């Protein structure tokens, strides 16, 4: 059977690393093993990211949890791992509890392994909000970030069959991708959304983890607003070390956007290193590009070196050679130097 090569390039806001994520439709049952924290949250100020870490459970039944962000607007990258619980399946059921959105079944997440029988899973996982679609549209309509043409494209998608060919074609259209990014940024910058985000974080009691290990479990995190506020403070400070105007970035009228998202994804799809392909080796890359005021990438920084260096070299080469971007705009609409972060998963099917 022919091997299919593909890469998943995530947007600034991020998404699950699986090709598809399905709603389980149910909250976890009462039979899930509940693991209390065995240490306080530890906040790591790394050179190119910020991370919250914590261990749950007693000796012999311990689980490691890490939430890491690579920029102020990225979705947290979550790692759940253990050397005490045996892996069960490639699938992963995961979600914040009690949760405004039910836990999600991820058919395939990125697997990690280490010394002493450590087995873990990596994916992007926000604390999700059940934000009303109609209100989200009203916010987009009122935002200068979202043009009438962009709104028309977004409305067109709602009229199409979700799994139909027309919807699939529109989803790949670069103008639609940019419209979706603009609408999302308008929503996430609104005071109403931020208030909902804070409330959702405050309501959290734990993280449900199922399917991946021999036990279904709930990591009893407690409320997440205070830890996430500490994460955001770390990220604000992180930006000041990247050689950009941090004060101007606090009030951008537009962040860096890919000029042609589909083209960028295709270039990454061609970049699966031959040596890694022959070994059927998967890879996961987090990268940050420095973007000039003219929209040109000027440097590529690997933010999470957890894969073979060959993946890092190929990804940075493609991002530097093929990446074309609309530059960031300050509050007056003037282009300024900025950055673009991306997550890429290389998987052999």
Kindly tell me if the per-residue pLDDT of 164 is higher than 80.
yes
Q: Are residues 59 and 43 in the same domain?
A: yes
Q: CA-to-CA distance for 64 and 37, rounded, in angstroms?
A: 10
Cα–Cα distances (Å) from 320 to 112, 193, 200, in that order, read 28, 34, 38
Q: 217 and 240 in contact (C-beta within 8 Å)?
A: no
Count structural domains, the chain: 3
Q: Are residues 140 and 122 in the same domain?
A: no
Is there a domain that residue 88 lies in? yes
Kindly tell me if the per-residue pLDDT of 15 is higher than 50.
no
Predicted TM-score (pTM) of the model is: 0.83
Q: Are residues 35 and 172 in the same domain?
A: no
Q: Are residues 25 and 81 in the same domain?
A: yes
Q: 130 and 37 in contact (C-beta within 8 Å)?
A: no
Q: Are residues 236 and 96 in the same domain?
A: yes
Kindly tell me if the per-residue pLDDT of 275 is higher than 50.
yes
Kindly tell me if the per-residue pLDDT of 10 is higher than 50.
no
167 Cβ neighbours under 8 A, 6+ residues apart: 157, 160, 161
Instruction: Look at residue 205 in the predicted model and tell me its pLDDT.
Output: 95
Q: Are residues 183 and 228 in the same domain?
A: no
Please tell me the total number of residues recorded for the chain in this structure.
Answer: 349
DSSP per-residue codes, 18-39: SS--EE-SSPPPTTSEEE-BSS
Q: Are residues 226 and 109 in the same domain?
A: yes
Kindly give the pairing relationship between strand 217-219 and strand 33-35. parallel
Is there a domain that residue 6 lies in? no
Instruction: Look at residue 28 in the predicted model and tell me its pLDDT.
Output: 56
Instruction: Look at residue 206 in the predicted model and tell me its pLDDT.
Output: 96
Is there a domain that residue 247 lies in? no
Instruction: Look at residue 31 in the predicted model and tell me its pLDDT.
Output: 81
Is there a domain that residue 249 lies in? no
Q: CA-to-CA distance for 330 and 117, rounded, in angstroms?
A: 49
Residue 162 — pLDDT band, cuts 50, 70, 90?
A: confident
Q: Are residues 105 and 211 in the same domain?
A: yes
Phi-psi region of 311 (alpha: psi -120 to 50; beta: other; left: phi over 0): alpha
Q: CA-to-CA distance for 294 and 290, rounded, in angstroms?
A: 11
Q: Nearest-CA neighbor of 93 among 65, 125, 69, 55?
A: 125
Residue 161, domain extent: 133-193
Instruction: Look at residue 277 in the predicted model and tell me its pLDDT.
Output: 65
Is there a domain that residue 25 lies in? yes
Q: CA-to-CA distance for 180 and 183, rounded, in angstroms?
A: 5
Q: Are residues 76 and 212 in the same domain?
A: yes
Is there a domain that residue 3 lies in? no
Q: CA-to-CA distance for 345 and 268, rounded, in angstroms?
A: 10
What is the tens place of the pLDDT at every residue in 192-225? 999 999 999 999 999 999 999 999 999 999 999 9
Indicate which CATH number applies to the domain containing 271. Answer: 3.30.2420.10
Averaged pLDDT, 161-179: 90
Q: Are residues 174 and 84 in the same domain?
A: no
The runs of H, that is alpha helices, within 123-219 are 133-142, 148-158, 165-172, 174-188, 191-203
Residue 305 — pLDDT band, cuts 50, 70, 90?
A: low
What is the tens place of the pLDDT at every residue in 24-33? 444 555 689 9
Averaged pLDDT, 300-317: 80
Averaged pLDDT, 144-169: 92
Residue 66 — pLDDT band, cuts 50, 70, 90?
A: very high
């Amino acid at each position: 059977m022919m091997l299919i090569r593909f890469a998943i390039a995530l947007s600034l806001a991020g998404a699950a690393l699986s090709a598809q994520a399905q709603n389980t439709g149910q909250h976890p049952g009462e039979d899930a093993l509940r693991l209390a924290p065995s240490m306080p949250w530890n906040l790591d100020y790394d050179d190119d990211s910020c991370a919250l870490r914590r261990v749950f459970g007693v000796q012999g039944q311990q689980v490691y949890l890490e939430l890491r962000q690579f920029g102020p607007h990225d979705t947290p990258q979550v790692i759940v791992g253990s050397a005490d619980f045996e892996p069960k399946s490639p699938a992963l059921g995961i979600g914040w509890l009690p949760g405004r959105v039910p836990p999600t079944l991820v058919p395939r997440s990125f697997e990690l392994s280490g010394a002493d029988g450590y087995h873990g899973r990596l994916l992007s996982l926000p604390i999700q909000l059940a934000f009303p679609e109609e209100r989200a549209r009203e916010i987009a309509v009122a935002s200068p970030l979202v043009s009438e043409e962009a709104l028309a494209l977004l409305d067109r998608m709602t009229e199409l069959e979700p799994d139909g060919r027309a919807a699939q074609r529109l989803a790949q259209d670069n103008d639609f991708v940019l419209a979706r990014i603009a609408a999302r940024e308008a929503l996430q910058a609104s005071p109403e959304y931020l208030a909902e985000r804070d409330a959702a974080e405050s309501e959290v009691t734990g993280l449900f983890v199922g399917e991946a290990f021999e036990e279904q479990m709930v990591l009893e995190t407690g409320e997440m607003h205070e830890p996430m506020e500490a994460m955001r403070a770390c990220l604000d400070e992180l930006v000041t070390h990247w050689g950009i105007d941090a004060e101007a970035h606090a009030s951008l009228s537009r962040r860096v956007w890919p000029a042609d998202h589909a083209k960028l994804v295709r270039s990454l799809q061609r970049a699966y290193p031959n040596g890694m392909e022959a070994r059927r080796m998967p890879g996961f890359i987090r990268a940050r590009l420095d973007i000039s005021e003219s929209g040109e990438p000027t440097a590529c920084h690997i933010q999470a070196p957890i894969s073979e260096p060959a993946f890092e070299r190929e990804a940075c080469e493609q991002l530097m050679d093929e990446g074309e971007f609309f530059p960031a705009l300050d509050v007056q609409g003037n282009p300024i130097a900025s950055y673009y972060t991306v997550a890429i998963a290389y998987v052999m099917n």
